Amino acid sequence: MPHALKAIYRNGAFVLQTPCNLPDGAEVELFIQSPQLISPPISDLETKQHFLKSLVERMQQNPIPLDAPRFTREMLHERG
């Protein structure tokens, strides 16, 4: 039966924030739910060029409307 645990990724390891009773060596499956997920860098030059080309094409197909509201400095900074 699935059981949700909270963890923070720190220095290459997941640090649990909730207690669990798993035996040592138990295999688990992680599902990442974070807007801060960072994709690995693209090291292959051809793949990088293809990615950038498709990114520019998508941006050109979805331009920002001229009447779109402008962000203020306050709106761009996170508030804690």
- The whole-model pTM stands at 0.40
DSSP track, the chain:
------EEEETTEEEESS---PPTT---------TT--PPP---HHHHHHHHHHHHHHHHHSPPPTTPPPPPHHHHS---
The stretch 52-66 carries a mean pLDDT of 92
Residue 35 has pLDDT above 80, yes or no: no
pLDDT band, residue 79 (cuts 50/70/90): low
